[in-house]
């Protein structure tokens, strides 16, 4: 049985052709059968995670929604709710969807696709060690100071999800644009 970790390692090895203008958008397509199999495989884990007890006292709860295109019988946009809880000790996990929006605003539009790919190497590495190594390499270049400061400011809270088992990362709200 294929795990999400092995799937992520497989996806990384996909060759992506560049367009004539130099840009490219990575896209991995899986069959309906494969998607259905993956959904069945993780359904029990998701249910258990959703029904788990929350043992820490939450002082503040922020709820937000993002709209994503969902294809059922027709394609429509549906709201996906995101919640961020802050404990009494100040622990929190930043939403990477919103973090990416903040970072995008701190670099020129013409540079965003290249910068975005480098930022993805930071926030979506397979482990914390690689994340910190990629962040150090990116920060040393110091190309856009406001962007660098934004990454430095809350790197720890943005990668808090890495303290959880790999198979739960998707369930923790890793939706990005």
CA 89 to chain centre: 25
Average pLDDT over residues 12-16: 53
What's the pLDDT score for residue 94? 67
* Residue for token pair 């190309």: 143
Q: Where does the pLDDT of residue 123 fall: very low under 50, low under 70, confident under 90, or very high at 90 and above? A: confident
What's the pLDDT score for residue 129? 92
Whether the per-residue pLDDT at 69 is higher than 50: the answer is yes
Q: Is-above-0.85 flag for pTM?
A: no
Q: Where does the pLDDT of residue 175 fall: very low under 50, low under 70, confident under 90, or very high at 90 and above? A: very low
Q: Rounded CA gap, 64 and 170, in Å?
A: 17
């Amino acid at each position: 049985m294929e795990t999400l970790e092995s799937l992520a390692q497989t996806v990384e090895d996909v060759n992506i052709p560049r367009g004539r203008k130099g840009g490219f958008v990575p896209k991995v397509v899986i069959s309906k059968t494969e998607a259905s199999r993956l959904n069945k495989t993780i359904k029990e884990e998701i249910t258990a995670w959703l029904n788990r007890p929350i043992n820490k006292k939450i002082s503040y709860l922020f709820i937000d929604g993002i709209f994503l295109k969902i294809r059922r019988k027709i394609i429509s946009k549906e709201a996906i709710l995101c919640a961020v809880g802050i404990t009494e000790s100040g622990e929190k996990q930043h939403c990477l969807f919103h973090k990416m929006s903040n970072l995008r605003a701190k670099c020129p539009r013409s540079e965003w696709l290249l910068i975005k790919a480098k930022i993805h190497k930071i926030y979506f590495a397979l482990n914390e060690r690689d994340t910190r190594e990629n962040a150090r390499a990116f920060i040393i270049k110091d190309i856009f100071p406001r962007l660098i400061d934004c990454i430095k400011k809350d790197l720890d809270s943005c990668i808090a999800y890495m303290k959880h088992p790999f198979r739960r990362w998707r369930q923790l709200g890793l939706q990005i644009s």
